[in-house]
Structure 1
């Protein structure tokens, strides 16, 4: 069967579940992972042949069940790098790439030795991306999940960077073991009441520990990290958060004016309140 004919069949089985751009993206990912062919190969030869293998069928069946394609192939792309992922870590998001970009662009001297802590590292996508683009930075990454840290460690090896990983529940900390120039975090921030807005591919497969917080204590991680940063962030150091788009103003109010300055609430590419940066006085 010609690939272009098979693509029509692929689309027909998924078009009632996903939008057309997603299905097209899925097909390209499958084509590369299963057949070793790219979208460009198909453009060059519209008559490329394909054998309908058992692997194709298994992948389609999982997509019909709305399992994230990154979990199917155990791989995700983030900030130009490849990361191992499974159900123990969140699938890295484009908005988190924007956070990483903001951190990198905020470091005025890329060659200056600095220390950075990533709290709630998950797959390690933030910490590892920063390590690749800020080679003189000493990067630390913390997570409560041992399984997540195993994935993050594998990603540090995969991307050939040195990151110090810490198994720790940040909510149980009274202080950090040392001071940092930058603290960055994408902690759990989705309230239970917002589950109705979450797609099945996220709700049914991604780790709830890394996603959800109680409705009446939605900023618990931000409060804790701001408290830790109040004493352990160096003077002039920066604190970065990815945040709940509905709680931008409430999160900004956590930064006490006697300890922090230049608190900026930034929108993501979709024009949602998504990131905060603040400087330690």
Structure 2
């Protein structure tokens, strides 16, 4: 069967749900995954044929059912690195890459620096920091055993040493003895009332444990992490968060009320309030 015919089938089935450009993106990712055929190879040979189409047609059906292509392939790219993913972890987002970039640029790792990533999920933040900063010791925690297993695989895949803990940040009963120069977190921050604005591929497949908070207490995790940071950050240590775009002002108040200084609220590439940083003074 010609790959071009399969591409036509993808558009026939999926364009109404995803749009032409995104469907093309899915198709080219999947022909690389299923057949090791690149977009350029197909452009050079429009009659390229494949024999076993079961895998890619199964993927087409899963896409129709709104399963994210990253879960179908089992991996994604983040900050230039490859990460394995499944439905026990969130798919890393580009805006989180901006958070990582911010931490890297502002971290003076001479002398050695201890970094903690809270709610690590796939490990994308912790592993990217460990890969791109020298002279650092990186720790990461999560409440989910399945997420930690995935993060450990990703650390091994990317050749970095990260120390992982199974910890509920709302009820910390260990690691209190450790002190950190940097604490970073992308905790659950989507309010329940925001669900109607979310795409089905997120709502139906990505872990709600890592996404949602109750409308009445949207800063639940931020408050707990800030309390933890007040004790476990070293003097002049830095606290970084990815945040809900609608809660920037509330986050500034939270950090101010807890005596953090040099507070910086930053926007992402879409001009949405997305990152905040404060120093423990």
Unaligned 5+ runs, structure 2: none
Alignment match, 1:80? 80
TM-score by length of 1: 0.96
Alignment match, 1:273? 273
SS state at 1:187 partner: coil
Q: In 1, Cα distance between the equivalents of 2:192 and 2:5?
A: 43
Any residues of structure 2 matched to 1:245-260 within 5 Å, and which? Answer: 245-256=245-256, 259-260=259-260
Q: CA deviation at 1:256?
A: 2.9
Residue-pair matches, total: 280
**Is structure 2 residue 3 aligned with structure 1 residue 8?**
no
Give RMSD over aligned pairs.
1.4
Alignment match, 2:131? 132
Q: CA deviation at 1:20?
A: 1.9
Alignment match, 2:122? 123
Deviates more, 1:225-234 or 1:120-129: 225-234
Unaligned 5+ runs, structure 1: none
Return closer, same or farther for 1:6/1:217 CA change in 2, 3 Å cut-off.
same
Q: In 1, Cα distance between the equivalents of 2:80 and 2:52?
A: 31
Any residues of structure 2 matched to 1:104-253 within 5 Å, and which? Answer: 104-107=104-107, 109-110=108-109, 112-173=111-172, 176-253=176-253
- Residues 65-103 of structure 1 deviation map (CA, whole Å, 9 limit, x = unaligned): 000111111111111111111110001111101100111
Q: In 1, Cα distance between the equivalents of 2:259 and 2:121?
A: 29
Alignment match, 1:30? 30
Q: CA deviation at 1:112?
A: 3.5
SS state at 1:161 partner: coil
Q: CA deviation at 1:44?
A: 2.8
Alignment match, 1:17? 17
Does the 8 Å contact 1:111/1:134 carry over to 2?
no
Deviates more, 1:252-261 or 1:213-222: 252-261
**Is structure 2 residue 9 aligned with structure 1 residue 47?**
no
Does the 8 Å contact 2:113/2:135 carry over to 1?
yes
Q: In 2, Cα distance between the equivalents of 1:212 and 1:191?
A: 6
Does the 8 Å contact 2:31/2:56 carry over to 1?
no
Runs of 4+ in 1 over 4 A off after TM superposition: none
Q: In 2, Cα distance between the equivalents of 1:227 and 1:247?
A: 18
Q: In 2, Cα distance between the equivalents of 1:135 and 1:188?
A: 29
Return closer, same or farther for 1:258/1:62 CA change in 2, 3 Å cut-off.
closer
Q: CA deviation at 1:176?
A: 2.7
TM-score by length of 2: 0.96
- Residues 150-207 of structure 1 deviation map (CA, whole Å, 9 limit, x = unaligned): 0000111111100000100000027732110000000000000000011100000111
Q: In 1, Cα distance between the equivalents of 2:38 and 2:234?
A: 47
SS state at 1:46 partner: coil
Q: In 1, Cα distance between the equivalents of 2:239 and 2:261?
A: 11
